[in-house]
Structure 1
Amino acid sequence: MSGIVSRRILLVVTGLSPQVVTETTYALAVGYAGQACWVPTEVHLITTTRGADNARLQLLHPVSGWFHRLRQDYGLPAIHFDESSIHLIERPDGTALDDIRDDDDNRLAADTIAEWVRRFTQDPHSAVHASIAGGRKTMGFFLGYAMSLYGRPQDRLSHVLVSSPYESSPEFFYPTPQSQVIRRPGSANEVLDAAQARVWLGDIPFVRLRSALPREMRERTDIAFAESVRAVQASVVPSLMLDRQQRRVLAGGVTIRLEPADLAFLAWALERHLQGRPLQRHRRLNQPEARSDAEEYLAQYASLGDDPADTGTRTHGRLSKERGLLMGFFDERRSKIKRAFTAALGEGHAQAYLLQRCGPRGRSEYRFSLDPSSITLR
């Protein structure tokens, strides 16, 4: 954890039942059965317009709001939670969703949830406690996955649990310190005492993949949820596909564009890797090995078709003049490929896709660490 935590953020996804907010706040701030108290300094909701209306009326109403009652009943300190803390899932045109009904709505929900988690975890002085108990099941899934993408050691994920039959009662919001009569769910005559209910948190361990995201994806505000997932996939499960016709490379699903000279070099290096033949840097003109490497490379270059930037067959002329593929050309291509992969994947996770030097100096060889089965050449 970096720095002192001054913001304790409770982040909740909700649907039409905002009780999850008070139930989770109660479990965190009041505690239970040896559970240490963790009083949030602020509460944030991600929801639809219908969910927002219910939260405003049932939690934040100045007279009957259950969140205010909870704080008063248990003497909790000030917790920032007002209408500005309710974040709506919106379409690109700014209109808010009233429900989540189809794939497009799910995508918007995922992007919204991931963006708020990314934003809250950007602050080094914050600790985020996210609850997946409310809202549609897909919303809980997206929140849990977003915590995996962006969560840090100080962040937690949980699901609030309420004893039966209170968990299905629309009148139950938290165990009250004094007797509070509420109706039993499904019965017109039977009642329950809210003070007798039990509430606790199911702590959910989650894999933290934050370090697998390129830094720019942790800082940019326009990153889609699916794009972040692809970036992590590229770093966790390396797979490389080179498409000569489309002149592109896919690293774990992330598209990387290379200039033709660099793409041909990568194709040549991958072909050699699949054949079990490492690469070498040649220093002297007119070496048989350097001439042979140049011929192999130029065959890959020709397979890409015309290069509009290579007027007068500059690449052919350079390799012909130097009488082979020498270290200057080798290092230039390798450096440009490294920059492209690092920009797309981040410095740490680009390494899985780059040529690595091995062997003693002077007799070094260059090879990939990629498993041949993870490479596809089209």
Structure 2
Amino acid sequence: MKKHILLCVIGMTPQIITETIYALAKKKINIEELHVITTLDGKRKLTETLINKGILSQLIHEYNLPSINFSEKSIYLIKNFKNKPLSDIRTPVDNESAGEIICKVVHKLTARKNTILHCSLAGGRKTMGFYLGAALQMYGRKDDKLYHVLVNEEFENLPEFFYPPAKSKEIIIKTKDGQFLKKSTSEVKIELAELPFLRLKELIDFSGKTFRELIDSTQIKFDNFKKIPYLGFIPAENILKIGDRKIKLSYNLWEFYTKLALQKKRACKHPQKLFCMNCTDCFLPMKGNTSLLTLFNQREENIRMKISKINSIIKNSLIAYYGKDNINFFLINSVGSHGSKKYGIFLDKLKIVRED
């Protein structure tokens, strides 16, 4: 049974938290743990209402919900780069600081096993919601969710309204034209709009960097990926087609290279991942039950000779067109230390196509 965790970004409206918990409970999703990212002023407002006034406890009691693990340690303050908590987010630097803490918290929570993370971006500055959505794209798992909370317009931003009480009551609201009216809480409609997002965690390694570095390094990877030519095979002519260049090989060398290159697709250890992104798990050792010797049924010296010949032909054929760095993707390379080396090509599996 997976634990349901709620993460909210908020400013001065802690109502977002109770409204989200209420709406999820209506969907039979009971939150067991709460985490909040906010400013110093937001924390004061949150503490004053949900904790000191006991509003969160009231919600749990009124609707007979399971207890929610929530403490001081679950409140993450947005701080500047001097580690000073911010009262508000006003400047571009403040926004960048918010992005850093949001990214770190989402990374931390999604790293926990047997959990489902529910994220609400309804509170706080608009940039906080953007960063939360972006972080969830990078680290979100299959079952993690992203929401926006929708409340009837007349009940929005009421300082004393946090959720529809189990027993309806009348409250005073102020209309757009300045009039004050009594409204029953039975008229409140709180809904969650689930927002779809791309889950990129399985495609790209996002670990160990700041938010800005994550974006920049990932963009570089995509830009570089676009520059690398495609690899194709023309069986009838024993030709390797790399970009718009054609390399003629003997049948034995063509068959050897093609068979090894197609390991990237046929023997991929992570078929759910769209990109290889430096993964070499499909590379084969020289010897063993699953190895180059068993794949080709040839002697080791013959295999090494073919690797050397193929690499020499590819280098000489392409060096004037694609440069040393790009050529390396198409060579038969080895990884690992002496005695435990594995062999394959670094080219991403998406760049390998077959032609008739």
TM-score, normalising length: structure 1: 0.62
Partner of 1:168: 157
Partner of 2:333: 335
Task: List runs of 5+ in structure 2 lacking aligned partners.
Answer: 229-240, 255-304, 337-343
The Cα of 1:277 is off from its aligned counterpart by 4.5
1:54 pairs with 21, 32, 45, which one? 45
Aligned-residue RMSD, C-alpha = 4.0
Q: Does 1:17 align with 2:13?
A: yes
Q: 1:122 to 1:349 in 2, by over 3 A?
A: farther
Checking the alignment, whether the CA contact within 8 Å between 1:42 and 1:80 is kept in structure 2 is yes
Instruction: Write the distance in 1 (CA, Å) between the matches of 2:154 and 2:163.
Output: 13
Partner of 2:4: 8
The Cα of 1:156 is off from its aligned counterpart by 0.8
Partner of 2:24: 28
Partner of 1:374: none
Q: Does 1:197 align with 2:194?
A: no
Q: 1:99 to 1:136 in 2, by over 3 A?
A: same
Instruction: Write the distance in 2 (CA, Å) between the matches of 1:292 and 1:110.
Output: 45
Instruction: Write the distance in 1 (CA, Å) between the matches of 2:332 and 2:345.
Output: 17
The Cα of 1:293 is off from its aligned counterpart by 5.7
Pairwise mapping of residues 255-294 of structure 1 onto structure 2 (< 5 A)?
276-278=245-247
The Cα of 1:349 is off from its aligned counterpart by 9.8
Q: For residues 239-263 of structure 1, what are the alpha-carbon distances to aligned partners after superposition, in whole Å with 9 as ceiling and x for unaligned? A: 4679xxxxxxxxxxxxxxxxxxxxx
Identity of aligned residues (%): 30
Q: For residues 159-178 of structure 1, what are the alpha-carbon distances to aligned partners after superposition, in whole Å with 9 as ceiling and x for unaligned? A: 11111300132221111112
TM-score, normalising length: structure 2: 0.66
Instruction: Write the distance in 2 (CA, Å) between the matches of 1:129 and 1:115.
Output: 16
Partner of 1:262: none
SS at match of 2:174: coil
Partner of 2:204: 213
Q: 1:295 to 1:96 in 2, by over 3 A?
A: same
Q: For residues 4-27 of structure 1, what are the alpha-carbon distances to aligned partners after superposition, in whole Å with 9 as ceiling and x for unaligned? A: 41x211000001111000000001
The one-letter amino acid paired with 2:11 is: G
Q: 1:237 to 1:15 in 2, by over 3 A?
A: same
The Cα of 1:78 is off from its aligned counterpart by 0.8
Q: 1:197 to 1:239 in 2, by over 3 A?
A: same
Q: Does 1:155 align with 2:144?
A: yes
SS at match of 1:8: strand
Partner of 2:170: 181
Instruction: Write the distance in 2 (CA, Å) between the matches of 1:178 and 1:299.
Output: 76
SS at match of 1:190: strand
Q: 1:79 to 1:296 in 2, by over 3 A?
A: closer
The Cα of 1:224 is off from its aligned counterpart by 1.3
Instruction: Write the distance in 2 (CA, Å) between the matches of 1:174 and 1:184.
Output: 15
Partner of 1:307: none
Instruction: Write the distance in 2 (CA, Å) between the matches of 1:300 and 1:195.
Output: 69
The Cα of 1:104 is off from its aligned counterpart by 1.3
Q: 1:335 to 1:190 in 2, by over 3 A?
A: same
Instruction: Write the distance in 1 (CA, Å) between the matches of 2:322 and 2:11.
Output: 56
Q: 1:350 to 1:205 in 2, by over 3 A?
A: farther
Q: Which moved more, 1:274-283 or 1:223-232?
A: 274-283
Checking the alignment, whether the CA contact within 8 Å between 1:182 and 1:191 is kept in structure 2 is yes
2:131 pairs with 128, 131, 142, which one? 142
Task: List runs of 5+ in structure 1 lacking aligned partners.
Answer: 243-271, 305-329, 340-346, 360-378
Instruction: Write the distance in 2 (CA, Å) between the matches of 1:274 and 1:179.
Output: 69
Instruction: Write the distance in 2 (CA, Å) between the matches of 1:76 and 1:348.
Output: 55
Checking the alignment, whether the CA contact within 8 Å between 1:213 and 1:228 is kept in structure 2 is no
Q: 1:352 to 1:178 in 2, by over 3 A?
A: same
Instruction: Write the distance in 1 (CA, Å) between the matches of 2:223 and 2:317.
Output: 33
Instruction: Write the distance in 2 (CA, Å) between the matches of 1:145 and 1:81.
Output: 25
Q: 1:136 to 1:212 in 2, by over 3 A?
A: same
The Cα of 1:201 is off from its aligned counterpart by 0.8
Instruction: Write the distance in 2 (CA, Å) between the matches of 1:17 and 1:334.
Output: 58
Q: For residues 186-208 of structure 1, what are the alpha-carbon distances to aligned partners after superposition, in whole Å with 9 as ceiling and x for unaligned? A: 55743333343111111111111
Instruction: Write the distance in 1 (CA, Å) between the matches of 2:217 and 2:312.
Output: 37
Q: 1:15 to 1:292 in 2, by over 3 A?
A: closer
The Cα of 1:99 is off from its aligned counterpart by 1.2
The Cα of 1:55 is off from its aligned counterpart by 0.6
Partner of 2:348: 351
1:45 pairs with 36, 56, 76, which one? 36
Instruction: Write the distance in 2 (CA, Å) between the matches of 1:185 and 1:81.
Output: 33
2:82 pairs with 93, 100, 107, which one? 93
